[in-house]
Amino acid sequence: MKLHSMVWKEILRRPGQSLTALLIVALGVSALVAVESVVASSEQRVASQMQQLGANILILPEGVTLQDYHAADAHGRSLPEEYVTRITLAQKVGVEELAPKLSVPAELGGDSIVVTGILPRSEFYKKSAWQSVDLLTAGLSENGVGKKHEGCGGRSCQIATTDKTDLSSYATTRIVHELDMNSALVGADLAKSQGIKKGQGIRILGASFRVEGILPATGTSDDGRVLAHLHRVQELADTGPIVNVIEVMGCCEEAATDLVGELDALLPDARVVTISQIVQTQVTVNRLMNRLSYVIFGILMLIGGASIASVMFANVTERRRELGTLMALGATPGMISRMILLKASTVGVCGGVCGLGLGLMAAYVAGPQFLGVSTNVSMQAVMIGLVVAVIVSLVASYPPARKAAHLDPCLCFQDS
């Protein structure tokens, strides 16, 4: 009989012991693979967000913590809309665009949805134009309000360019130039689920809106929203002139960093954060999760190792007579030792593979469902999980294997 078939028969004869050890190893590997895969995907998403959002700043009500940039208006707290005017009139260098938002719950076709009020650029231009005289004076002198940030494109164009008049460009630019009081933009997912088409009329918050555009899918919460003019949303929801968040598009990263302090001083009752700060928070959380997954993996591997050692010791004690017989029939200590180690490594490999399967399943289900990220497999975690599972099984089985190899067949028969 070959060594591996002897090991296999032994595993099948005592499945309970082997399964316990296998389960613990599998749990450790699955925790590592699941968490690492989700973290890896989350990091990729953060990097792509960073690229898309550029030098943006968020102004939030004090005390609001934020981890998802696209859900910055979903905290239920508010700021006075006059803060937007305060920023506009302050003519801070480096401010390219402003995008205040107010989100309120509503119903559409029997479904609960979110209606988000946005302010078109034309509203800012009107207020900016009140300061024409200041700007003219400053423009003719060396320093003053409205100057360009050095090396950047400068203050945004006053007159609409074609791309900003296209309403569907909101999906990428987060800006619309003009938005009629009775017009609405509908997110891709919502339009699909409710069969809404451009030009159609919809009724939300007790008022009729004409759908001026369906936004392309962005993979963010905007896909399930209806966007309308901020002042119309405020009026219909009877909220008064408030917003949930003000997004400030800086002309460059350098200007955005400088702006944070200036906006902090201008709006002392608000929280001013840059996109890089939000991303930093996400990176910190990811790192924490990453370390935590290794700690959990380590603990479970320790327990798994102890369990394998205990199972194998019990196994050796239980099989003294059988092992003694094998030795009496000519089996060498090396062969006995290899038999025990082969069994342990089989448990380790099977545990690792099962853990890998479980971990990937958990990552694929939990990632999109609970964390909103599509999962990519972390090959590093897969390799580390499998290798460590086998090493732990072998190390844990080494003492029982050594004990089995040094059994005296005569004593074994005497015991029985």
Partner 1 sequence: MRHLLSLLFAFAFIPAIGYAATRTDQVEAAAKNGKYTYVMFYRANDAATQRMASTIRSQVTENEEKTTWVTVNVRDRKEASLVKRFDASRIPLPAVFGVAPNGAVTGVFRQKVDQAQLTQAILTPKYADMVKALQNQQIAVVCLMPTADTPIPAGVTTLQQNPEFKGKLHRVTAYATEVAEAGFFQRMQVDPTLGAPAVLMFAPPGTHLGTFDAAVSGEELAQELHKSGKCNCSKCQKK
Q: Which residues bind partner 1 (CB under 8 A)?
A: 81-82, 84-86, 89, 123, 125-140, 146, 155, 157-162, 241
Q: In angstroms, what is the minimal distance from the CB of 180 to partner 1?
A: 17
If the CB atoms of residues 105 and 153 are measured against partner 1, the closer one turns out to be: 153
Q: In angstroms, what is the minimal distance from the CB of 290 to partner 1?
A: 45
Tokens read off for 389: 């599972």
Q: How far apart are CA 273 and CA 69, in angstroms?
A: 11
Rounded to 10 degrees, the C-alpha dihedral 327/331/333/338 comes to -130
Q: Compute φ and ψ for 212, nearest 5 degrees.
A: -90, -15
Q: In angstroms, what is the minimal distance from the CB of 157 to partner 1?
A: 5
Mapping DSSP onto H, E and C, the string for 237-272 reads HCCCCEECEEEEEECCHHHHHHHHHHHHHHCCCEEE
Q: What burial class does residue 86 get, using C-beta atoms within 10 Å of its C-beta: 0-12 exposed, 13-18 middle, 19+ buried?
A: middle
If the CB atoms of residues 127 and 338 are measured against partner 1, the closer one turns out to be: 127
If the CB atoms of residues 160 and 384 are measured against partner 1, the closer one turns out to be: 160
Tokens read off for 294: 């290794």
Q: In angstroms, what is the minimal distance from the CB of 90 to partner 1?
A: 9
Q: How far apart are CA 244 and CA 223, in angstroms?
A: 19
If the CB atoms of residues 59 and 135 are measured against partner 1, the closer one turns out to be: 135
CA-based Rg of the chain, rounded to a whole angstrom?
32
Q: In angstroms, what is the minimal distance from the CB of 76 to partner 1?
A: 21
If the CB atoms of residues 87 and 113 are measured against partner 1, the closer one turns out to be: 87
Q: In angstroms, what is the minimal distance from the CB of 236 to partner 1?
A: 16
If the CB atoms of residues 68 and 134 are measured against partner 1, the closer one turns out to be: 134
Q: In angstroms, what is the minimal distance from the CB of 63 to partner 1?
A: 22
Q: How far apart are CA 134 and CA 96, in angstroms?
A: 18
DSSP H or E stretch at residue 409 = helix 409-415
Q: How far apart are CA 231 and CA 203, in angstroms?
A: 17
If the CB atoms of residues 169 and 307 are measured against partner 1, the closer one turns out to be: 169
